[in-house]
Amino acid sequence: MRRSLAARLLAAFLVAVPVLLGAPAEPSKDPIWSALVPRAAGAGEHFAGPEGKPGNPGTREAPWDLASALSGERKIEPGEVLWVLGGTYRGKLEVKVSGTEAAPVFVRASPGERATILDGGLSVVEPASHIWIWDLEIAGSAPVSRRESKQGGSSPTDLPPLGGLNVLAGKGCKFIDLWIHDNVGGGVGWWVGSTDGEFHGCVIHDNGWRGPDRGHGHSIYTQNKDGTKTISSCILSVPHEGSYTMHAYGSSRAYVDNYVLEENIAWEKGPFLVGGGRPSRNIKVLRNYLYKVDMRLGYGAQNEDCEIRDNVIAHGGLVIEKFRKVAKEGNVTDMPAKKAVLVPNKYDPRRANLVIYNGARAPEVSVDAGPFLGPGEPFRLMDPKDLHGKPAFQGASAGTEIRVPVKGEFAVYVVLKGQ
């Protein structure tokens, strides 16, 4: 039987040679990335840069502008890669590029470079499909304290552009290791026009605004009817009460069906919700890790079926409302005295998420890091809210174990191999 694209990608990880994150490299010479992207023979690499121009040839030395490259005005074939060079890109950008299931189009920040879409946001619209967007930063420049509206409700007119990532279309699209933060509106809107896609490894925090009624804007606001949406290994947080980390929700006219939510981390504030005014079905919520965040399945309607397994919800509640069929086991709603979980990234073997519960208030917690780290292998723990800053902690594994100093009863990090 022919293996799926995901299976081939995972197999590629096993034979790839590690390259340290943060070390600039020519993309074509990065063996991890070269193994990861199953391009057809002769498939090309293109480049977009902050100073790029539409008439350029799209090389590193003479890159395209990002707006025309993403809009489909430049020719990018299925299986090809658009490398986004480091720097700042302003304005609202639209993605209309299409690949195929066997040969997606890849859009990724150039290795070791920080590519930021600032104060405009990114929208995926028709005819986009089978596009993988990877490692980009989508951010706003206004701090949380300045994002306030004098108008109540969810559509104020006295705010600057909302920014964030808005996915309106696209079959089989993947959004990997994005850093989405400090946007005026929500972090991600992922709607019914996009099917059979995945968010993986994204860090989404401090998006939204405060109105006179409550906080608005969510980490992820999503609806789905056909196909399955998967949200996995993401780190989610919101700054205001009234906002949600996970907001899979809609009115009686909207669909909230066919979700797999697994190994996500949500902390600080903002409920984790799946449900709305129309009956939900085929909901799987597996091995998610919450701190001071409630988990709620169902919201008013008489729902069909859900599977809720092995979630940890510390200092928060678990509510499962009006489901005809519930598979529920292994969920923990007490604060663990000491529990550390390392979740390797499915698409980048140099990256993982780490969540630590430390109800016992131990000064140091042992973490089983095998097989992610080998004996003596160096690592860095990055604050999810400062991914390009200095490491919060760094060291080397002792066997397959790492020991992490912890202040307080909870910690969350992005783990990167290398120094």
DSSP 8-class letter at 31: H
Question: How high is the pLDDT of residue 339?
Answer: 97
Residues 281-336: tens digit of each pLDDT: 999 999 999 999 999 999 999 999 999 999 999 999 999 999 999 999 999 999 99
Residue 18, pLDDT above cutoff 60: no
Strands 209-210 and 215-216: antiparallel
Question: How high is the pLDDT of residue 35?
Answer: 52
Using CA atoms of 296, 301, 302, 308 in order, give the dihedral in degrees to the nearest 10. -20
- Number of domains, the chain: 2
94-102 mean pLDDT: 97
221 and 356 assigned to the same domain? no
Higher pLDDT, 413 or 24: 413
Sequence-distant (6+) residues with CB within 8 A of 407 are none
Q: What is the mean pLDDT of the chain?
A: 91
Higher pLDDT, 40 or 381: 381
Q: Where a domain ends, among 227, 243, 259?
A: 243
103 and 216 assigned to the same domain? yes
Question: How high is the pLDDT of residue 160?
Answer: 86
Between CA 79 and CA 37 the distance in angstroms is: 8
| Secondary structure in 3-state letters for 386-417 | CCCCCCCEEEECECCEEEEECCCCEEEEEEEE
In a domain, 306, yes or no: no
33 pLDDT band, cuts 50/70/90, is: low
Range of the domain at 192: 5-243
161 pLDDT band, cuts 50/70/90, is: confident
In a domain, 114, yes or no: yes
77 and 221 assigned to the same domain? yes
Residues 332-354: tens digit of each pLDDT: 999 999 999 999 999 999 999 99
Residue 262, pLDDT above cutoff 50: yes
Between CA 115 and CA 85 the distance in angstroms is: 6
DSSP 8-class letter at 4: P
Residue 209, pLDDT above cutoff 60: yes
15 pLDDT band, cuts 50/70/90, is: very low
In a domain, 57, yes or no: yes
Backbone angles phi, psi at 6, to 5 degrees: -60, -40
Ramachandran region, residue 193 (left: φ > 0; alpha: ψ -120 to 50; beta: rest): alpha
72 and 181 assigned to the same domain? yes
Question: How high is the pLDDT of residue 31?
Answer: 54
In the chain the first and final C-alpha atoms are separated, in Å, by 41
Question: How high is the pLDDT of residue 223?
Answer: 98
74-89 mean pLDDT: 97
Question: How high is the pLDDT of residue 24?
Answer: 39
Residue carrying the six token digits 């980490």: 219
Residue 225, pLDDT above cutoff 80: yes
In a domain, 120, yes or no: yes
Q: Where a domain ends, among 228, 243, 258?
A: 243
224-229 mean pLDDT: 98
Q: What residues form DSSP beta bridges with 379?
A: 395, 417
In a domain, 223, yes or no: yes
237 and 112 assigned to the same domain? yes
Residue 37, pLDDT above cutoff 50: yes
In a domain, 325, yes or no: no
* CB of 105 closer than 8 Å to CB of 82: yes
Question: How high is the pLDDT of residue 165?
Answer: 98
CATH number, domain containing residue 176: 2.160.20.10
Q: Where a domain ends, among 243, 266, 286?
A: 243
Residue 82, pLDDT above cutoff 80: yes
Question: How high is the pLDDT of residue 14?
Answer: 33
Both tokens of 62, joined, read 């003479």
Residue 10, pLDDT above cutoff 50: no
125-143 mean pLDDT: 97
Torsional sign, CA 253, 206, 135, 413: negative
AA letter at 246: M
Question: Is 375 buried (19+), middle (13-18) or exposed (0-12) by CB count in 10 A?
Answer: exposed
Question: How high is the pLDDT of residue 145?
Answer: 86
358 pLDDT band, cuts 50/70/90, is: very high
Percent of the chain whose predicted confidence (pLDDT) is above 90: 86
In a domain, 259, yes or no: no
Higher pLDDT, 155 or 105: 105
* CB of 149 closer than 8 Å to CB of 58: no
Between CA 262 and CA 264 the distance in angstroms is: 6
**Nearest-5° angle of CA 376, CA 378, CA 379?**
135
419 pLDDT band, cuts 50/70/90, is: confident
Residue carrying the six token digits 């600080």: 268
108 pLDDT band, cuts 50/70/90, is: very high
In a domain, 198, yes or no: yes
Question: How high is the pLDDT of residue 100?
Answer: 97
